[in-house]
Each structure stands twice: as C-alpha cells, then as structure tokens.
Amino acid sequence: MSGDRFMRIHGPEFKAMSERVLRATELTSRLNVLPFEDEKGKADLFEQILGKPLPPRTTIYPPFYTDHGLKLDLAERVFINQNCTFLDYAGIRIGERVMIAPKVTFITVGHPVDPVERRSWLTGGPIDVAENVWIGAGATILPGVSIGHDAVIAAGAVVADDVPPASLVTGDKATVNRQW
C-alpha cells in the first residue's frame, strides 16, 4: 500500500488523528516518568493509552512510545522491552507469546516518495505479527508487513516485506533503488 494514497494531510481525519497524537503523547510522557514499581499507576495509564486494560500476562517495560495507542492490539503473554515505539494509526496486531526486544520500532504510516505528494498525503498499512515471533533489538517493522508465526527478526533488521512463518530475517543495509 506504500504507493497508494491513504489520508489527506489537511482533511478532518488527519485533524482527529493529530488530536489523538497529542493525547497519546501526554499519556506516554506521564507513564515514562512513573517509578518502575508503581504497577497500579502503569496499569491505569496503559488502559488510557490502549483504550482497554493490558491482556493477562502481557508485560511492557517503559519507556514506551505510541502515536495513537487505540489501534495497538496486544494478545496475551506478549513481552515488550524498554524503549519501543508503536506508530499504530493504521493498526498493529501482536499475537500471543511474541517477544519484542529493546528499541524496536513499528511504523504503520509514512509519506509518498514523490516530493509534491508527500506534503499532501499519508500512506501506510497495518502490521500483523503472528504468534510466537521474536523481534531482536533495534529492528524496524515498516507499514503493511505481516510476520508469520515462529519467525525471528534479527537485531537491527529493517523489515519492509512480509516474513514467512518459521523463518529468520536479517539485514539492515540500505540500497538506492532509484533516483529522480
């Protein structure tokens, strides 16, 4: 979906999204300064950020960042380590028993490559992570990606394409694909 128009930047949907971004930023700022042992305070803020309580046996270690929160769907027994970012406006689903290492970034929204269009439109697509996936430190998952069950994403990998089940994904080298 990266080449398709998704949302006009100067439209009402964008305005509503922008208001939610401000609210999510306020809530995560409060979450990220709580004492680590304040379980009740963290649970209350996660409920406001996600719009529902954390699922059973799901653990998130702050600092935690999201631009929306309400479109982040976490299953049971998910573990999210420190300093992860979920830009979830187009939706992120994390399946059961997924382990996410520190500094992992999920991005569901971007801009067109064309310099004129990038100031007018957002592009993107949802991210779907199936059960029992392990995502290594510093990995980046880009818009529209599905990751199959039991897959392993190596530390530092940039995932721009779907990942088959029970596979290992590595790589972080940028490549020039075209010039204009």
* Beta-sheet pairing, 121-124 with 109-110: antiparallel
Taking residues 55-71, what's their average pLDDT?
A: 96
Map tokens 């964008």 to a residue.
Answer: 14
Q: Give the strand order in the sheet containing 152-153.
A: 59-60, 79-80, 99-100, 134-135, 152-153, 168-169
Out of 10, 68, 111, 149, the active site residue is 111
Q: Which is more confident, 6 or 164?
A: 164
Taking residues 85-91, what's their average pLDDT?
A: 96
- Can 111 be counted among the known catalytic residues? yes
- Evaluate if pTM is beyond 0.85: yes
Helix (H, G, I), strand (E, B) or coil at 86: strand
Residue 85 has pLDDT above 70, yes or no: yes
Q: Which two tokens stand for residue 10?
A: 């100067």
